[in-house]
Amino acid sequence: MNTRDDITPEASPSPTGEVFGRLYEQYLPGVFQYVNYRVGDSATAEDLTSDIFSKALTNFARYDPGKGAFSTWIFSIARNTVIDYYRKRDREQQLRKKETESKTQQFSESPEDEVTRADESRKLHECLSLLKPNEQELIALKFGGEMTNREISRIMGLSESNVGTILCRTMRKLRDCFLEK
Amino acid sequence: MTNNIEKDRQLLENLDRLLAGREKEITGPVDDYTRTLLDVARKIASLRDKPSKEFGSNLKAQLIHQLAEQEKKSSNNQSFLFWEISRRKMWQGTIAALIVVVITGVVLLVTLLSNRAG
């Protein structure tokens, strides 16, 4: 998270490349983890992370450090990208639902031969899916983005104390959910 | 009520320590409430997936390519702008020179005709 390697100078000698390269190295793990918490699928998380950094690079000239930290800016892009992804997915699911309305679908559970980590991960995503959208968002920013409550408050437009309150409530919900499963 | 607020404050502080990898700093009496919640937090944190190195380097290469394209496009736009300006100036210069030539020609012609008449 705190590595500060540049994009190789010979590949990208421009100042934009150097600055963006440093920020890329620094924020890639957090952004990826944030998206992975939100979507619960690493392949989709990779696709969305690529989109996020591509958008960030396209609009990098418009980023003004005086207006806020880069973390706030990049995680706002990440947040909007995830929201767009869910909107698009919901639309597609509705279309598919219409197409297969008459068919009864039976999904068989896959055999429980996954490793414990995968099982725990599935449980976590099940529990996360039961949370309210703002609670899911908060957990993803906290654990995925490794952000402070103050940073989260700027991204979500809440007060810092409100973030703390929601975070504690959400942790209690997750604990109860984990205990039930 | 105050007790709950204090417990939540303790939880949030310890959560930040845990996520920052400073778990050793979680000291002092931690009650059952905080302990169980911190256990959940540890579990959630342990399930974080780092992006693979392959993904990281592929995305980096893709971004370097994108940056090169952006800079190329921007540089083309600048040279086009430069060409537009110089072409306009060239036209202005040519027209001005033509006007001077025409006026000089007219003056010479009038002078020549008036000399002959005189």
Please give the residue of chain B at the shortest CA–CA distance from A171.
Answer: B37
Looking at residue B24, what is its pLDDT? 82
Kindly state whether B63 is in contact with chain A, defined as any CB-CB distance less than 8 angstroms: yes
| pLDDT, mean of residues A13-41 | 90
Q: Are both A31 and A95 inside the same structural domain?
A: yes
Looking at residue B26, what is its pLDDT? 79
| pLDDT, mean of residues A61-71 | 90
Q: Are A57 and A20 in contact (CB under 8 A)?
A: yes
| pLDDT, mean of residues A59-84 | 93
| pLDDT, mean of residues B15-25 | 87
The amino acid at A92: E
Q: Which two tokens stand for residue B71?
A: 């800079």
Looking at residue A82, what is its pLDDT? 95
* Segment holding B13, helix H or strand E: helix B2-19
Looking at residue A106, what is its pLDDT? 44
Please state the ipTM of this predicted complex.
0.74
Number of residues that make up chain A:
181
- Residue of A137, A156, A148 lying closest to B13 (CA atoms): A148
Q: Are both A25 and A91 inside the same structural domain?
A: yes
Q: How far apart are CA B42 and CA B15, in angstroms?
A: 9
Kindly determine whether residue B56 and residue A28, on different chains, have CB atoms separated by under 8 Å: yes
| A positions 71-90 inside 8 Å of B (CB) | none
Q: Are both A98 and A134 inside the same structural domain?
A: no
Is residue A108, in this structure, part of any structural domain at all? no
Q: Are both A121 and A148 inside the same structural domain?
A: yes
Chain B residues within 8 A of A167 when measuring between CB atoms: 12, 15
Is residue B117, in this structure, part of any structural domain at all? yes
Q: What percent of chain A has pLDDT over 90?
A: 61
Q: Compare A101 and A117 and report the one with higher pLDDT.
A: A117
Is residue A109, in this structure, part of any structural domain at all? no
Is residue B55, in this structure, part of any structural domain at all? no
Chain B residues within 8 A of A53 when measuring between CB atoms: 59, 63
Q: How far apart are CA B58 and CA B64, in angstroms?
A: 10
Kindly determine whether residue A146 and residue B12, on different chains, have CB atoms separated by under 8 Å: no
Is residue A93, in this structure, part of any structural domain at all? yes
Residue for token pair 């449980």: A123
Q: How far apart are CA B82 and CA B73, in angstroms?
A: 14
Q: How far apart are CA A75 and CA A141, in angstroms?
A: 8
Range of the domain at B22: 2-46
Looking at residue B5, what is its pLDDT? 84
CATH number at residue A88: 1.10.1740.10
Kindly determine whether residue A172 and residue B37, on different chains, have CB atoms separated by under 8 Å: yes
Instruction: Name the domain boundary from A73, A103, A133.
Output: A103
| DSSP annotation of A40 | S
CA atoms within 13 A on the CB side of B18: 21
Range of the domain at A127: 114-181
Is residue B97, in this structure, part of any structural domain at all? yes
Instruction: Name the domain boundary from A103, A130, A147.
Output: A103
Q: Are A4 and A26 in contact (CB under 8 A)?
A: yes
Q: Are both A127 and A76 inside the same structural domain?
A: no
Q: Are both A59 and A133 inside the same structural domain?
A: no
pLDDT band at A2 (very low <50, low <70, confident <90, very high): very low
Is residue B61, in this structure, part of any structural domain at all? no
Is residue A167, in this structure, part of any structural domain at all? yes
Q: Which two tokens stand for residue A65?
A: 């450090």
Kindly determine whether residue A46 and residue B64, on different chains, have CB atoms separated by under 8 Å: no
Is residue B60, in this structure, part of any structural domain at all? no
Instruction: For residue A96, give every residue at least 6 positions away whose Cβ sits within 8 Å of its Cβ, in sequence order, or none.
Output: none
Looking at residue A130, what is its pLDDT? 93
Chain B residues within 8 A of A32 when measuring between CB atoms: 49-51, 55
| pLDDT, mean of residues A164-176 | 95
| A positions 91-120 inside 8 Å of B (CB) | 117, 120
- Residue of A173, A158, A63 lying closest to A124 (CA atoms): A173
Mean pLDDT, chain A, integer: 84
CA atoms within 13 A on the CB side of A67: 7
Q: Are both A61 and A120 inside the same structural domain?
A: no
Kindly determine whether residue A178 and residue B56, on different chains, have CB atoms separated by under 8 Å: no
Number of domains in chain A: 2
Predicted TM-score (pTM) of this structure: 0.72
Chain A residues within 8 A of B41 when measuring between CB atoms: 143, 171
The amino acid at B103: I
Q: Are both A90 and A165 inside the same structural domain?
A: no
| A9 has pLDDT over 70 | no
Residue B100 CA to its chain's centroid (Å):
49
Is residue B66, in this structure, part of any structural domain at all? no
Number of domains in chain B: 2
Please give the residue of chain A at the shortest CA–CA distance from B68.
Answer: A12
Q: Compare A49 and A113 and report the one with higher pLDDT.
A: A49
Looking at residue A107, what is its pLDDT? 44
Q: Which two tokens stand for residue B103?
A: 């006026």
Q: Are A174 and A139 in contact (CB under 8 A)?
A: yes
Looking at residue A1, what is its pLDDT? 41
pLDDT band at A115 (very low <50, low <70, confident <90, very high): low
pLDDT digit string, tens, across residues B42-72:
989 988 888 999 999 999 999 999 999 988 8
Q: Which two tokens stand for residue A154?
A: 């700027």
Q: Are both A95 and A134 inside the same structural domain?
A: no
Q: How far apart are CA A41 and CA A125, in angstroms?
A: 10
Looking at residue A3, what is its pLDDT? 36
Please give the residue of chain A at the shortest CA–CA distance from B63.
Answer: A54
**What 3-state class would DSSP assign to A20?**
helix
Q: How far apart are CA A128 and CA A136, in angstroms?
A: 6
| pLDDT, mean of residues A17-25 | 91
Instruction: Name the domain boundary from B11, B29, B46.
Output: B46
Most confident region among A49-63, A108-122, B26-40 by mean pLDDT: A49-63
Instruction: Name the domain boundary from A103, A122, A150.
Output: A103
Q: How far apart are CA A88 and CA A70, in angstroms?
A: 27
Kindly determine whether residue A167 and residue B50, on different chains, have CB atoms separated by under 8 Å: no
Residue B79 CA to its chain's centroid (Å):
21
Kindly determine whether residue A175 and residue B37, on different chains, have CB atoms separated by under 8 Å: yes
